[in-house]
Structure 1
Amino acid sequence: MKRWLPLSIIAATLAVAGCSKAPNGDTNTSTSSQVAKTTANEAYLALADDYFNHDLALNPISATYVGINDYNDQFGDQLTDKWLKQRHQLNKGFLAKAKKIDRSQLSQQLQLSYDMFVYNRNLDLVEETFPARMIPFNQFYSPLFSMAQLGSGGSFQPFETVEDYQNWLARLEGFISFLNRAEDRMREGIRSKVVLPRTLVERMIPQINAQLVQDPTESLFYAPIGQLPESFSDADKQRLTDAYQSFISEKLTPALLDLSVFLKDEYLPASRGSDGMWGLPNGKLWYQYLANRNTTTEMDVDDIHELGLSEVARILAEMDQVRQTVGFKGDMAAFFDYLSSDPQFFFDTPQQLIDGYMGLKDDINQVLPDYFDVMPKADYEVRAVEAFREKSAAGASYQSPAVDGSRPGIFYINTYNLRAQPKWGMTTLSLHEAAPGHHFQISIKQELTDIPQFQKFGGYTAFEEGWALYAEYLGVEMGLFEDPYQYFGKLSDEMLRAMRLVVDTGLHAKGWTREQAIQYMMDNSAMAETDITAEVERYMAIPGQALSYKVGQLKILELRAKAEQALGDKFDIKEFHSQVLLTGSLPMAVLEDKINYWIASKS
């Protein structure tokens, strides 16, 4: 992929080069300076895209997700010593190359990009010092699920040509090799006492067993055969059908059975009794790293815990105001029970829930133009979470649209337990996952044309989840929470993010048990116990990720308040949102630098 210098940079360079004069009147000096800046910009863009291309070669599934089909037949050699060494050399080498570029000669926008690039390489090099390779997957993030989604025919993996179908079989061969490597790394983890909590292993075994089918046509991985294009010849259809059936029966199912036996007989007995990272060798330091990486801050985990306690108390007080507004006579515990059990707050069928979200989409779309100058070209649709993952999936999630525009974004709703999907939570969930939350931020980022590729397709959880939580807050200004029960839903979701600060740090830094974490969330929310249990086990599986939401939201709100105060009548909410969204996902410190620059430019 050749990288061309953005027109905006070329135009700006030509304009300055043609009109500016150095203080001594020497136009040659000014022109020389602009040539240096242009050269620096070109060098950095080439470097960033060179890294991106090398990284895709190491991570071929990532290439498929960003619409590059050169590696669709490969799974990748992750977990091998060779791959780990190549990743180290990639990060170390490109960090050294980046440091040879004079940052001061870059355009303002590319200075932000440069800071991100260097930040990422340093983080990746530190990450290598921790033994993540020994815990290659868990019940929440599983390659089994991601491969099943890719092979469904409705995701990023193309199934349009005979070669596409052959590529998928080849990728599945790589997946089987990965499963074998994963077992070896998990055995290494057993020897080093770097293993998952017992509860999570108990969740993983039935997930795998559910894929052990006797009839290959019942496998999730047989789905592409049910979608064979009519244009294929009868011979090709028969050949592919036979190939998929034999592969599932003779290779895939035995590999999954082997993994299931390994987990049950070897890994489960060696799994750890502690529910948090404090129970791992060097676990507290590892967790502090993950907390900093996910929040893109240097906050100490103890400070994050205290912030969470403070936010929980504040939100509880607002919830009590809602209780009084609707005239509920009982205490907060009774109010929580009422909201989580009264039939009026729940749909009777999954389709009613999906239809309700489609109606909300129309309502929200009507007010968006008052707050945004820029909107994504891609649309989104609402879908139920697939049956094969609904028992362990989150209540909702978002999948970005295809880069080429061939598929819209997807707002997934988990319809497995309708009592975990109250009507009063719908507005805030739609704002968060769809528009103007994840759908806006991620789709707009993918559609940008004047930033390096790694910015279009990379991201930071604190920015992305912080923006989505900010989008919930924005719903208040949009007038979408006039119903007090819907406003309670907004508070309930905000409470979830505040509790995460307490529970995640409690589990991993303060020795909390799974049961303590579950009880804390039950005491402070109206969430269904099944939902709470899945949440807590998610925090156990992916430490630190849950911290990013509230930390990111509070930083965006802080920067907005700062801009409003500094600019007064010059503050424009649409312009602020464009400043936040139009350079992709940023670390919090880089976003702060950008907003400060914008404020100064308008003052």
Structure 2
Amino acid sequence: MPAFSIQNYDKNDNNTSNTGNATMKLTPTLLAAAISALVMTGCDRGQESKAPEQSAAEVTVESAESATAPAAKATEADAAAIAQANQMFEDFFQEHLNRSPEFKTFLGMKDDYGKWNDLSPEFEEESYQINQRQLAKLNKLDPSKLDDATRLSLKLAKRNLNEEIEGYKWRLHSYPVNQMYAVHTGVASLLINQHRIDDVSDAEAYIARLNALPKHFAQLQQNLEERAEVGTIVPKFVFPYVISDAQNLITGAPFDGGEDSTLFADFKGKVDKLEIPDEKKQQLVGKAKSALLSNVQPAYSNLIKYLQKLEKRATTDDGAWKLANGDDFYNFRLNVYTTTDLTADQIHQTGLKEVARIHEEMREIMEKVGFEGSLQEFFEFMRTDKQFYYPNTDEGKKEYLDKATAIIDTMKGRLDELFITKPKAELTVKAVEPFREKSAGKAFYQRPAPDGSRPGIYYANLYNTNDMPTYQMEALAYHEGIPGHHMQLSIAQELQDIPKFRKFGGYTAYTEGWGLYSELVPKEIGFYQDPYSDFGRLAMELWRAGRLVVDTGMHSKKWTREEAIDYLKVNTPNPEGDVTKAIERYIVMPGQATAYKIGMLKIVELREKAKNELGDDFDIRAFHDTILANGAVPLDVLEDLVDEWIAEVKAQQ
């Protein structure tokens, strides 16, 4: 996706996984699949208010408490150059926004409300040309005439555009349909979670989107076939997942005699809340029914038939090495996701070292709880003992959601000890919807609507509660909720005085590094009192360390899917189903899983550096403000910002 767009934070972090979010930058082709997640960074509490219908250039959000971009240091003579640069950032953001009806919906806007994104190769080519033109204009700006904040924005904008331009040659190395994010499930997620129906025109727009699915899916099939012709076909294991998800969306009324289908129930429920005559409601429901039967069912049925044919051409080769110039592609993705120049081998070795270190800390907990046996036997105990799992029933799932909410509420009461800037957006906890819970990751986060009409959502996948151990609940809630993704992403989009591409953009190593770091911070103020819960924290950190090993193992060292599964089964306590789903996720998202631990290690490294240099003048609250109050940045830029903060504190000593 262009530099002036958003990332997929519906990252399905199997944290067992994670978001979004995926956090991968979206190409025009993949935006439709991941936009529903936009999230990561998001949730649903209370009555939604109607979003203002306005252009992106007019979209504003209330700032977070105390949040603001770094103070301007430019002279009055530079004001014109600063204004020119910031107007350019907004114009470029608007240009890409105008090409994405789905991104507009995410932002709470009603422009192009009845449309889907254009998935055609021609559209991708146009986006590539726009990126080149925008970069050429940015290169003409003189950084010396800008203040610090605008100079940073310019640096990030140019970096993002260069990356997108370089990435264009790899556009056919993606999987637009996979079990983690996919166009055909993304459209349903957008309609259910983001397409609000506040009046009749909104309902008509919903129906228009239903009627537009045949063309949208035809473009998707074209994308899939274009990739297949150059050997880019998702591995064979993916097809049962994605075909099942598609079938789920055309099961139930009006497609058969069962209960209302997912989309029909969603539309009916939203229309029923409108204050309009019952006759009008019935008319709208009738139109939706017709759209579902005439266009939605054929669109999904045709896609299923195509996927069944494509499945016969798929192989069991899983790594990125199987693609054309696969090694170069994987190195590019590592660079994008980690924002470093680390090689696959360096990342692999870091993972092995971290796994060994965390194993030693786990053995200390084994001694504390009096467990006699090997570490692997302890893992088996944690996997299988019923005390660590809620019943896989409606009651058990509700209990899980209630407990996760309580954990987050407790953490809210301690935020003043750690943070100056806090988000205004609300957070809620929800179960992943039934239509996608079988294939979705373990947990992920969707960010709130900028206008406040939709809270942030921490999604827990409760398809099988045996994959959601209670000893991981604390760390998982901190990662996805507070002080993790909700904290970071809400603050970013509530910041004032920074361009929108920085509010809604991101870098996986920063975002996921913060999420993983946020699992550690609560321990430092007295949380994880239960040693089993502290083991869960270590288990989740171990999981991310193991990712460094298996991701590089599969995509660079040609490990098989089975070898990667075996590694995590032996070296982590996660259930086998959890392990399998995670490895399958890493296969279809090469490099993404490496960002978490790399990002966390850098944040911890910078914190220790600040502590050592500042001594008694070190303030954890000010450190966290330095990390969060600039929005997401690459790790090298983050280091520069921390160094500047250290220098400022020293100057005041």
Q: CA deviation at 1:10?
A: 13
Q: Which residue of 2 aligns with 1:148?
A: 188
Is 1:419 aligned to residue 466 of structure 2?
yes
Q: CA deviation at 1:214?
A: 5.9
Q: CA deviation at 1:587?
A: 0.9
Structure 1 counterpart of 2:493, from 440, 446, 451: 446
Q: Say whether the 8 Å CA contact 2:70–2:630 is kept in structure 1.
A: no
Q: Which residue of 2 aligns with 1:476?
A: 523
Q: Which residue of 2 aligns with 1:28?
A: none
Find the residue that maps to 2:414 and give its secondary structure.
Answer: helix
Q: Which residue of 2 aligns with 1:436?
A: 483
Q: Which residue of 2 aligns with 1:22?
A: none
Structure 1 counterpart of 2:268, from 219, 225, 229: 225
Is 1:287 aligned to residue 323 of structure 2?
no
Is 1:545 aligned to residue 592 of structure 2?
yes
Find the residue that maps to 1:411 and give its secondary structure.
Answer: strand
Q: Which residue of 1 aligns with 2:145?
A: 105
Q: Say whether the 8 Å CA contact 2:69–2:149 is kept in structure 1.
A: no
Q: Which has the larger helix fraction?
A: 1
| 2-structure distance, mates of 1:162, 1:469 | 43
| 1-structure distance, mates of 2:57, 2:237 | 48
CA distance 1:333–1:114, shift in 2 (3 Å): same
Structure 1 counterpart of 2:546, from 481, 496, 499: 499
Is 1:47 aligned to residue 47 of structure 2?
no
Q: CA deviation at 1:346?
A: 1.5
| 1-structure distance, mates of 2:69, 2:418 | 31
Q: Which residue of 2 aligns with 1:158?
A: 196
Q: Which residue of 1 aligns with 2:294?
A: 250
Q: Which residue of 2 aligns with 1:183?
A: 221
Q: Which has the larger radius of gyration?
A: 1
Q: Which residue of 2 aligns with 1:25?
A: none
Answer with 104-113 or 540-549: which moved more: 104-113
Q: CA deviation at 1:315?
A: 0.7
Partner deviation per Cα, 1:272-322 (whole Å, 9 max, x = no partner): 321111111111111111111011111111111111111111111111111
Matched residues, percent identical?
37
| 1-structure distance, mates of 2:237, 2:441 | 17
Q: CA deviation at 1:46?
A: 0.6
| 1-structure distance, mates of 2:102, 2:487 | 24
Structure 2 counterpart of 1:579, from 602, 626, 629: 626
Structure 2 counterpart of 1:467, from 491, 505, 514: 514
| 2-structure distance, mates of 1:561, 1:269 | 53
TM-score, scaled relative to structure 2: 0.86
Q: Which residue of 2 aligns with 1:60?
A: 101
Q: Which residue of 2 aligns with 1:529?
A: 576
How many matched pairs?
A: 581
Partner deviation per Cα, 1:115-155 (whole Å, 9 max, x = no partner): 11111000100110113376322111012322222222xx2
| 1-structure distance, mates of 2:582, 2:71 | 49
CA distance 1:9–1:477, shift in 2 (3 Å): closer
| 2-structure distance, mates of 1:174, 1:104 | 49
Question: Counterpart amino acid of 1:324?
Answer: E
Q: Which residue of 1 aligns with 2:79?
A: 38
Structure 1 gaps of 5+ residues are 17-32
1:7-26 superposed matches below 5 A: none
Q: Say whether the 8 Å CA contact 2:175–2:588 is kept in structure 1.
A: no
| 1-structure distance, mates of 2:334, 2:191 | 33
Question: Counterpart amino acid of 1:569?
Answer: D
| 1-structure distance, mates of 2:59, 2:528 | 46
| 2-structure distance, mates of 1:176, 1:44 | 41
Structure 2 gaps of 5+ residues are 1-55
Partner deviation per Cα, 1:15-42 (whole Å, 9 max, x = no partner): x8xxxxxxxxxxxxxxxx8244212211
Is 1:595 aligned to residue 638 of structure 2?
no
CA distance 1:219–1:132, shift in 2 (3 Å): farther
Partner deviation per Cα, 1:162-216 (whole Å, 9 max, x = no partner): 1111112223344432211121222222221111111112322222122233632
Is 1:395 aligned to residue 442 of structure 2?
yes
Partner deviation per Cα, 1:322-366 (whole Å, 9 max, x = no partner): 111111011111101111111111122111111111221232122
CA distance 1:231–1:297, shift in 2 (3 Å): same
Partner deviation per Cα, 1:28-59 (whole Å, 9 max, x = no partner): xxxxx824421221111111111111111222
Q: Which residue of 1 aligns with 2:408?
A: 361
Question: Counterpart amino acid of 2:98?
Answer: A
| 2-structure distance, mates of 1:202, 1:347 | 28
Q: Which residue of 2 aligns with 1:260?
A: 304
Q: CA deviation at 1:97?
A: 0.8
| 1-structure distance, mates of 2:210, 2:240 | 25
1:127-142 superposed matches below 5 A: 127-132=167-172, 135-142=175-182
Question: Counterpart amino acid of 1:90?
Answer: I
Structure 2 counterpart of 1:382, from 417, 422, 429: 429
Q: CA deviation at 1:161?
A: 1.0
Please tell me the root mean square deviation across aligned C-alpha atoms, in Å: 2.2
Q: Say whether the 8 Å CA contact 1:3–1:45 is kept in structure 2.
A: no
